[in-house]
Amino acid sequence: MENIKKTTPHRVGIVLANEELDIPALKFFILSMNALQDQFEYEFLPTPDHGELFEELQKIEDVDREAVRSYVPNFLVDFPKWLEKLEDGYNLPHPRPDQWIIVSEACFSDNFYNMRENHVSVIALGNWQRSMAPPSLFEFIQTLIVRESIAGVCPALRGSVHLGTRGCICDFTAYLEDTRLKVLSGFICHSCEQALAASSRPTLATTVRYILNKKWVGNLSDPTSTTSVLAKLRYNLFLSTGLKPTFLESTINLLQTEGVKALVTLFGAVALAGLLFFFGLKSGGS
Query: Could you tell me the smallest distance in angstroms from the CB atom of residue 212 to Zn ion?
Result: 12
Distance CA 275, CA 175 (A): 48
Phi, psi of 226 (to 5 degrees): -60, -40
In contact, 161 and 192? CB cutoff 8 Å: yes
Closer residue to Zn ion in complex, CB, 156/217: 156
Instruction: Tell me how far, at minimum, the Cβ of 118 lies from Zn ion, in Å.
Output: 24
Contact positions with Zn ion (CB under 5 A) in 196-215 = none
Contact between 189 and Zn ion (CB under 5 A)? yes
Site for Zn ion in 26-85 (CB under 5 A): none
Q: CB under 5 A: which stretch of 40-48, 80-88, 114-122, 186-194 binds Zn ion?
A: 186-194
Rank residues 199 and 256 by Cβ distance to Zn ion and give the closer one: 199
Q: Identify which of residues 58 and 191 has a Cβ nearer to Zn ion in the complex.
A: 191
Listed ranges 88-96, 101-109, 188-196, 205-213: which one lies at the site for Zn ion (CB under 5 A)? 188-196
Amino acid at 220: L
Identify which of residues 122 and 189 has a Cβ nearer to Zn ion in the complex: 189
Q: Write the DSSP string, 136-199.
A: PHHHHHHHHHHHHHHHHH-GGGSS--BSS--SBTTB--SSGGGGHHHHHH-B--HHHHHHHHTS
Query: Least distance to Zn ion from the beta carbon of 166, Å?
Result: 6
* Residue 256 to residue 47: CA distance in whole angstroms: 34
Interacting residues with Zn ion between 123 and 162 (CB under 5 A): none
Burial class (CB in 10 A: 0-12, 13-18, 19+), 176: buried
Amino acid at the residue 130: R
The closest alpha carbon to 43, from 31, 54, 28, belongs to 31
The answer to the question of residue 170 lying near Zn ion (CB under 5 A) is yes
For Zn ion, the binding residues (CB under 5 A) are: 168, 170, 189, 192
